[in-house]
């Protein structure tokens, strides 16, 4: 295979799903204290099936993103992933009937232009040892990951809506994350078996520049942080909507850009800077649109006269 280590990074994102058993157990014990006949699980069959399918999609999305990172810099990948906000808006429009506003259309346009600028700058952004064909391969894989993630978020919201959003409690949210993580990890584990990644882990740990112990600590930290990220994303979708989750994810882009420049010493070209500004501009457009809509709703509620019950 062209990139023999793509499956391990893919599996790190969902592999921490057993950690969800801790809050689930505490929640069950608390419910049992007040109601001894409380069920262990609350997932309905439709929500269980939806969580399983979305989990498999998530595993494949992780694979595309991790595979793409073999060919393009982290900073470039982060800007390309920003396109998921545009795809999220498009899929949300068709799947959960999310309405477009001038601000969302503006953000879609800005993010598209930013990705196009990176494509035009492909020849000067390639990491050492990566061919032009390899760079374009990473570019397409990363954009594909953005498309798939943009599809996955509205599917989660649709699943919550089908289950009646008001019944999606903290426990149900944790159960959904557990099922998604289980199937995503299973998908990646199958790839690791066929690609013999499990046998490569001890060798890679022994060759790790910071030491074998720190290698495993890095893996554990990644697993924990990814679980916190996914639980937070599901919580935002449950309490608000898909677009807000996409906005928060896009807000991480500047952080990734700066960290890649500081710790990985990646080049920060002028084209990449302009693409970053366009992405942030799109983020600001979404945020301002959401703010004005919320402000308008509050104003309408204040001016609407209360009904008098006779």
* Average pLDDT rounded to a whole number, residues 76-97: 81
CA–CA distance, 203 with 92 (Å, rounded to integer): 44
DSSP state at residue 163: T
Confidence of residue 307 (pLDDT cuts 50, 70, 90): very low
Kindly state the greatest CA–CA separation across the chain.
79
CA–CA distance, 242 with 250 (Å, rounded to integer): 12
Q: Is 305 exposed, middle or buried (0-12, 13-18, 19+ CB in 10 A)?
A: exposed
Q: Is 207 exposed, middle or buried (0-12, 13-18, 19+ CB in 10 A)?
A: exposed
C-alpha pair distances (Å), 68 with each of 9, 27, 40, 230: 11, 39, 40, 21
In this predicted structure, what is the pLDDT of residue 246?
Answer: 79
Rg of the chain's alpha carbons, rounded to an integer? Answer: 21
SS3 assignment, position 83: coil
Q: Do 23 and 169 form a contact (C-beta atoms < 8 A)?
A: no
Domain-wise residue ranges, the chain? 7-303
Task: Give the phi and the psi of residue 37 in degrees, each rounded to 5.
Answer: -95, 15
Q: Do 145 and 93 form a contact (C-beta atoms < 8 A)?
A: no
Q: How many residues does the chain have?
A: 310
Letter string b/e over residues 57-69, b meaning 16 or more CB atoms within 10 A of that residue's CB: bbbbbbbbbbbbb
Cite the DSSP H helix spans in the chain. Answer: 7-12, 21-34, 45-68, 74-81, 84-95, 102-120, 132-162, 170-195, 197-206, 212-239, 242-250, 253-263, 270-303
Task: Give me the percent of the chain exceeding a pLDDT of 90.
Answer: 30
Tally DSSP H helices, then E strands, for the chain: 13, 0
CA–CA distance, 17 with 229 (Å, rounded to integer): 12
Q: Which of 116, 223, 236, 233 is nearest to 165 (CA)?
A: 236
Alpha-carbon torsion angle 275, 281, 282, 283, nearest 10: 110
Residues 33-59 have pLDDT tens digits of 888 888 888 888 889 999 999 999 999
C-alpha pair distances (Å), 19 with each of 55, 82, 95, 220, 227: 16, 28, 31, 11, 8
Q: Residue 160 pLDDT more than 70?
A: yes
Residues 218-260 have pLDDT tens digits of 999 999 999 999 999 998 888 878 877 877 777 676 667 677 7
Confidence of residue 88 (pLDDT cuts 50, 70, 90): confident
């Amino acid at each position: 295979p062209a990139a023999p280590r793509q499956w391990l990074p893919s599996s790190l994102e969902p592999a921490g799903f057993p950690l969800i058993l801790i809050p689930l157990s505490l929640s069950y014990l608390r419910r049992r204290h007040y109601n001894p006949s409380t069920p262990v699980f609350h997932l309905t069959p439709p929500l269980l099936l939806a969580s399983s399918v979305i989990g498999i999609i998530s595993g494949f999305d992780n694979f595309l993103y991790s595979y793409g990172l073999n060919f393009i810099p982290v900073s470039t990948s982060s800007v390309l992933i920003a396109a998921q906000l545009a795809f999220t808006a498009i899929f949300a429009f068709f799947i959960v009937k999310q309405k477009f506003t001038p601000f969302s259309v503006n953000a879609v346009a800005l993010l598209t232009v930013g990705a196009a600028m990176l494509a035009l700058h492909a020849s000067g952004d390639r990491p050492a040892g990566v061919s032009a064909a390899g760079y374009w391969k990473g570019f397409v894989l990363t954009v594909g990951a953005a498309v798939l993630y943009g599809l996955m978020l509205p599917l989660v919201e649709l699943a919550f809506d089908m289950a009646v959003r008001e019944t999606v409690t903290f426990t149900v949210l944790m159960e959904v994350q557990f099922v998604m993580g289980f199937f995503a990890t299973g998908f990646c584990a199958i790839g690791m078996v066929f690609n013999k990644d499990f046998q490569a882990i001890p060798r890679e740990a022994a060759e790790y520049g910071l030491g074998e112990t720190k290698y495993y600590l890095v893996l554990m930290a990644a697993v924990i942080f990814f679980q916190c990220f996914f639980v937070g994303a599901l919580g935002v979708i449950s309490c608000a909507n898909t677009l807000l989750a996409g906005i928060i994810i896009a807000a991480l882009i500047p952080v990734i850009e700066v960290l890649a420049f500081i710790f990985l010493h990646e080049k920060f070209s002028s084209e990449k800077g302009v693409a970053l500004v366009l992405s942030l501009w799109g983020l600001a457009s979404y945020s301002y649109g959401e703010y004005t809509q919320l402000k308008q709703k509050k104003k309408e509620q204040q001016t609407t006269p209360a009904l008098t019950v006779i």
